[in-house]
Amino acid sequence: MTVYPFFIPHQGCRQRCVFCQQQSISGMTFPPTPSQVSRQLASMLPLQGDGEVAFYGGSFTMLEESLQQEYLACVMPYLRAGRIGGIRVSTRPDACGSEVVARLKRHGVSTVELGCQSFSDRVLGLSQRGHGPEAAEGAVTQLRNAGMRIGLQLMPGLPGGSFDEARYSLDRALQLRPGFVRIYPTVVLKDTALERAWLKGDYAPLDLEQAVELCAELLWHCHQSGVPVIRLGLQSTESLDSGAVIVDGPYHPAFGQLVRSRLWRRAIENAVAKTAERRVCVAFADLGDVLGHRRANFDYFKRRFSSLEIVADDHVARGSFVLDGHCCDMMSKARYLQPLSKSCRLPE
């Protein structure tokens, strides 16, 4: 599905979470006006399409009601004309009461993304979110009853977090049966409370290797649950890539590829270690992820298996590889032994 995004940085937010600096993330200082949105849509949308116009970067349902209606009203003509299939907004879990959801439904909103970030009371408190994990459960119930598609956003590595907390939060998120998930490892941005904590030595983010390893595991569990992960890591922008707004943390412009490549590395290593065969065939479309960013996996395999050969083959299905005459599913071979259990408890 094509998404046509508009960023409304910090709009509707009544407090500033310790990690948040939407201007830096989006590269925008001011939100577009409804009339600007309408003019841009007229030129960017196809004559017929099933994509969604999206409002990101703020708490849409906490905008003044009149402004919400203006934004949605300027999109509605394109929805009625069949140039898009729906509208998407992002908001906070504690801003989805029954009246709010009913208003969204009336104005053509089809998808709502909830910034859950964590399902740990302690992590949410330290992040100054202003709500507990139960807010997400209530919001999902309201949205699902209205027939809306639901996305959940998680942020591993927040203050007070850990690998176990990230697994626990994902387990709680998956129990809510979302339509999709986004996973953003926490990055320290300038001009945030998190930067001040980092400067005092009170907070240390995940490093890139830790974030890749953790997110590979989380991605695998999402795949096993049938829930797509539509983004891993922050969207690359000029300001983020320049390093001007990042203080510390696991930002990488190709973070998603790093994570997918880690699963390929794990799968192929597990399979090759059990056979004398050293020729692995993969689909052309998967070759980049198999070799890894800047051929990091290729170099790893050379050290681990000196004679390993990786070749692309038109006859191999995506997401699988052929070794010793057997077709292997990558996700099956990358299996993690520690399951996400519905009865798991949050570590102290």
C-alpha torsion 38→42→48→54, nearest 10: -40
Q: Do 292 and 237 share a domain, yes or no?
A: no
Q: Are residues 127 and 37 in the same domain?
A: yes
Helix, strand or coil for residue 16?
Answer: coil
Residue 23 has a pLDDT of: 59
H or E element at residue 189: strand 188-189
Tokens 């969204």 belong to 104
The answer to whether residue 342 sits within a structural domain is: no
Q: CA separation (Å) from 40 to 6, 35, 44, 78?
A: 10, 9, 6, 12
Judge whether 112 and 96 are in contact, CB under 8 Å.
yes
Q: Which of 193, 226, 253 is the last residue of a domain?
A: 253
Both 210 and 290 in one domain: the answer is no
Number of domains in the chain: 2
| Residue that is last in its domain, among 227, 253, 279 | 253
Same domain, 225 and 323: no
Please say whether the dihedral angle defined by the alpha carbons of residues 227, 232, 234 and 238, taken in this order, is positive or negative.
negative
Stated as kind and residue range, the H or E segment containing 146 is none
List 328's β-bridge partners, or say none: 321
Is 215 part of a structural domain of the chain?
yes
Give the residue from 221, 253, 285 where a domain finishes. 253
Is 113 among the domain residues?
yes
- How many Å apart are CA 274 and CA 285, to the nearest integer? 26
Q: Are residues 170 and 212 in the same domain?
A: yes
* Same domain, yes or no: 228 and 150: yes
Q: In terms of domains, do 195 and 48 share one?
A: yes
Whether residue 240 sits in one domain with residue 98: yes
The answer as to whether 87 is a domain residue is yes
Q: What is the pLDDT along the chain (348 residues), one digit of tens a residue?
A: 899 999 998 686 777 788 887 655 655 567 899 999 999 999 999 999 999 999 998 899 999 999 999 999 999 999 999 999 999 999 999 999 999 999 999 999 999 999 999 999 999 999 999 899 999 999 999 999 999 999 999 999 999 999 999 999 999 999 999 999 999 999 999 999 999 999 999 999 999 999 999 999 999 999 999 999 999 999 988 888 888 899 999 999 999 999 999 999 999 999 999 999 999 999 999 999 999 999 999 999 999 998 899 999 999 999 999 999 999 999 999 999 877 765 456 655
CATH number (domain holding residue 18):
3.20.20.70
Residue 334 confidence (pLDDT): 97
Does residue 295 lie within any of the structural domains?
A: yes
Give the pLDDT score at 12.
65
> What is the residue range of 287's domain?
264-333
- 277 plus 245 within the same structural domain: no
Give the residue from 250, 237, 54, 265 showing the smallest Cα distance to 166: 250
Residues 275 and 223 occupy one common structural domain: no
| Judgement on whether residues 34 and 181 belong to the same structural domain of the protein | yes
